[in-house]
Amino acid sequence: ADAELLLARKEQEFTEALRLATGVMVDVLADAETVAPGESFNVTARVFFPEESPVEIKNIRLRAPGGWQVRDAATQTTGADTGPPTQHEVARRATQFHVTVPADARLTQPYWLRQPREGFLFKPMTDAPRGEPFAPALIHAEVELSVGDTPLLLTAPIEYRTLDPARGELRRELNVVPALSVAIDPSLVIVPTQARRQPQRVVVRLSNNSQGPLSGRVRLRMPPNAANYVWQAQPADAPFALQNKGERAAFTFDVSVAAPRAEGNGNRLRVADSFLLGAEAVTADGRKFDRTQRVIAYPHIQTHRLYTAAEAIVKVFDLKVATVRVGYVMGSGDEAPEAIRRMGLQATLLDENDLSIGDLSSRFDTIVVGVRASQTRPDFVANNGRLLDFVRRGGALIVQYQRPDYAERGLPPLPAKMQEPGGIARVTDESAPVRVLQPTHPAFNFPNKITNEDWQGWVQERNLYNFITFDPAYVTLLESHDANEPANNGGEVYLRLGRGHYVYTSYAWFRQLPAGVPGAYRLFANLLSLPKANQSNVPAKRRWRFRRVL
């Protein structure tokens, strides 16, 4: 097998050497970058070589997957001037083909995504090109030549060519795409179990990828009315009409879920239920589309298209949050502001002017600092003192994980270290036990009573970049560590600073909140609610005596 592989590779090298020596170039261009199943497109295959080269063209043909129809349209010899973009390119021969894609053609996507994943693992496939990052081009041209008495067979993939004003000529492989792409937004819907629930608004977006107009109706595919849940969408469906390729449209639906009064449940929903809410479009001729196309496009690589089910995850669980005004200092980028909005609060993104001259205390109760802000937001570093003053005047500052420079620059209100010669402290096991060190603290009691269930279902990791050594005035709230590692209680620390609350929390909220982990939402809601956690709304047996540091 190894010898055959080496011989095949050597044969390819000889073929390429002969092509270069004779100056032959094969160029195969399609008139579209994408085509939908059942549609047709045109291909022009051109062969170039110098006049003095001893080359004779024997045949030009296309090789396509089974079921594809390829028809020769026209052939031109010397002097052929073809193909976009408009410019003078003289080929020795140009052959045109008309290609029709079958209605059941497989969509073009990375071969390792054809089958659903098993968790974070990809399923092996027998027809996959082992060891290759992507499958070869769908369709290619074969050109039979003779160089003197030596036969030469060259192959070239079909490409689409465009001109970019800045980058010049760009080439992309031909892709088979669905005639219609359907996407649902948001991809995660949180439904608290409170008695009074507002309908959840979702948007379904359609994109026409076909060569002609498409019309029909778009609707939500509701979860079954099971387990005492009743689902409703308003409207039930909506008509759509997209005339041109690339045209898009968006449709808004209001979704409500309720549990009927039965068995004395007081119209309450069960805790931590999860459902799938789908979206689909049905065309006038009866075709159904329910896949979302995601395009990965950069100038320096081939464009790749991925497909996922047009579904949103709906999480129903017990979630309460105090009515607080939240400001957010975005760091390197995370989805916490959207998670805060899912809780029913507004999250205002703070810019440099807000941090430097804004009246923070009159506008906000809680300010959250995003991940790695100390490295990506110089204005945060420069105005850290104003944020600590905001705390002293009664606000809550929730600082998510930062890199060690956060402590080295003296940004915490009291000294701390996040890195030692032995490295950093983190918990990589997402299921590692977590111990609550201050059970009566409001962070675990108001407005959500935290239990062991809230640490279940976490993803990827518990925390990262913890405080390792720190001033004893900090109150340690949680302890967690990986197996065979020492105790680690610097993952979440609290400080009563003036009239307010400072929290450094390195728990991986930036992973848990987008994943819809119920316990993470409940814990984070408690941190946001700290300014409202006074003695009147915390039961006496769970009251926490705040120790103030001025």
CATH of the domain at 157: 2.60.40
What pLDDT was estimated at residue 239?
98
User: In the 8-state DSSP scheme, what is residue 115?
Assistant: S
Containing 356, the helix (H) or strand (E) segment is: helix 352-357
Q: Is residue 397 part of a domain?
A: yes
**Same domain assignment for residues 373 and 506:** yes
Among 296, 317, 338, identify where a domain stops.
317
Question: Percent of the chain scored above 70 by pLDDT?
Answer: 90
Q: Is residue 86 part of a domain?
A: no
What pLDDT was estimated at residue 547?
56
Task: Return all residues near 309 (Cβ < 8 A) that are at least 6 apart.
Answer: 278, 290, 291, 292
CATH of the domain at 355: 3.40.50.880
In terms of residue numbers, what domain contains 17?
Answer: 1-78+91-125+133-176
**Same domain assignment for residues 312 and 343:** no
* Token couple for 459: 């993803």
CB-count exposure of residue 438 (10 Å: 0-12, 13-18, 19+)? middle
Other Cβ atoms less than 10 A from the Cβ of 147: the count is 17
Cα–Cα distance measured from residue 193 to residue 55, given in angstroms and rounded to the nearest whole number: 77
Mode of pairing for the β-strands spanning 214-221 and 237-242: antiparallel
In 364-457, alpha helices (H): 373-376, 378-382, 384-392, 405-408
Q: Is residue 84 part of a domain?
A: no
**Same domain assignment for residues 381 and 423:** yes
What pLDDT was estimated at residue 550?
52
Tell which residue, 244, 238, 243, has the closest CA to residue 205.
238
**Same domain assignment for residues 239 and 293:** yes
Q: Is 414 helix (H, G, I), strand (E, B) or coil?
A: coil
**Same domain assignment for residues 280 and 221:** yes
Confidence check: pLDDT of 268 > 50: no
Instruction: Identify the residue with better confidence: 390 or 5.
Output: 390
**Average pLDDT in the 534-550 region?**
49
Report pLDDT digits (tens) over 109-144.
Answer: 998 888 888 877 888 777 778 778 898 888 999 999
Rounded to a whole number of angstroms, the CA Rg of the chain reads 31
**Same domain assignment for residues 295 and 402:** no
Helices (H) and strands (E) in the chain, counts: 10, 37
Q: Is residue 285 part of a domain?
A: yes
Count of domains forming the chain:
3
Report pLDDT digits (tens) over 304-354.
Answer: 999 999 999 999 899 999 999 999 999 999 999 999 999 999 999 999 999
Cα–Cα distance measured from residue 479 to residue 492, given in angstroms and rounded to the nearest whole number: 8
Mode of pairing for the β-strands spanning 492-497 and 548-549: parallel
Tell which residue, 481, 484, 445, 447, has the closest CA to residue 462.
481
Cα–Cα distance measured from residue 163 to residue 93, given in angstroms and rounded to the nearest whole number: 24
Q: Is residue 541 part of a domain?
A: no
